[in-house]
Chain A
Amino acid sequence: MATKPSLPAGKVLVDASLLVGIIDRDPDACLFIPILSRCVVTSVNFGEMLYKLEQLLDVDPQKVESAFVGLGLQIDSFGLSAARNFNELKKIDELSRSTQLAAGVAKHMVKSLSLADLACLSYGLDAKLPILTGDKHWCTLNQYGFRGVVFDYRSPVTTF
């Protein structure tokens, strides 16, 4: 019987998608509220989450920050050593895109990495932290050489 993948003990890097999912009361995301005190998010992805919630629903960014910080979430600045991983990630992205195109995926359906994606993934590589996201595409990147560990919080097998 296959072992269910589970989050390792210790710090976990979370993507903006998990935090947006929590505010949206996504039950899969809310499962992780009790472990926010061992989670870290980059300032870039935190900012992304804040603007998205305000843009869509006028959610007060100061209150969102208070709630997550109060629950123990650590917000870390994004620095140069993480940024140095962008080149490697863009090569992985190009390989992933060309493989999708070769497999017949329509050009407009090809999944690729945005700047926000790069911010989270590169910080995860730099800090050697497992990454928790709602973006299933990130879980496909290992086959193209991504060295990090990604968990999809929407997968029913991600436990802690």
Chain B
Amino acid sequence: MTQTFTSHMTSYPVRLDARRRPTLPSALLEEAGIRAGSQELVARVDGPGRVVLEDPAALLASLQASAVAKKPARNIRGSLVDHLLEDRRNDKSLKL
């Protein structure tokens, strides 16, 4: 199911305990479409004092959507893989 997000999302205070564990409010997870329990997430630093916690599948889907949407404006036709392979064919670093 696709979830629609608005630009006005709620902020929730979160405290880290002495063992670095945060307790994430259920409403926060619900708003993000993240199920508590066995779902694997990925965390990364996104600047000073900012940690992003994401569902990697949702992140991948968003990267895919963004990449595919940008192709016409960049005049990229065909598959990106063919561009990569073309790049490799033009690699002169090993040519005699």
Contact = CB atoms under 8 A, between A and B. Distances in A.
A56 B70 CA distance: 9
Interface in A77-121: 90, 93, 111-118
B63 A63 contact: yes
Given A59-B66, A90-B94, A21 B81 contact: yes
Contact of B64 (A22, A62, A70, A114): A22
A134 B41 contact: no
A157 interface: no
B29 interface: no
Of the four ranges (under 10, 10 to 19, 20 to 34, 35 or more), the interface on chain B belongs to: 20 to 34
Given A53-B80, A114-B88, A24 B70 contact: no
A135 to B, nearest CB: 6
A31 interface: no
A134 B81 contact: yes
B36 interface: no
A91 to B, nearest CB: 13
Of the four ranges (under 10, 10 to 19, 20 to 34, 35 or more), the interface on chain A belongs to: 35 or more
Given A59-B63, A67-B42, A116-B91, A26 B81 contact: yes
Contacts of B66: 57, 59
B94 A70 contact: no
A53 B66 CA distance: 11
Nearest to B83: A56
Given A25-B68, A117-B88, A56 B59 contact: no
B74 interface: yes
A69 interface: yes
Nearest to A62: B44
B40 to A, nearest CB: 7
A24 B68 contact: yes
A114 B93 contact: yes
A86 B19 CA distance: 47
B49 to A, nearest CB: 16
Interface of A: 16-17, 20-26, 29, 33, 48-49, 52-53, 56-60, 62-72, 90, 93, 111-118, 134-135, 154
Interface of B: 40-42, 44, 46, 52, 54-57, 59-60, 63-64, 66-68, 70-71, 74, 76, 79-81, 83-85, 87-89, 91, 93-95
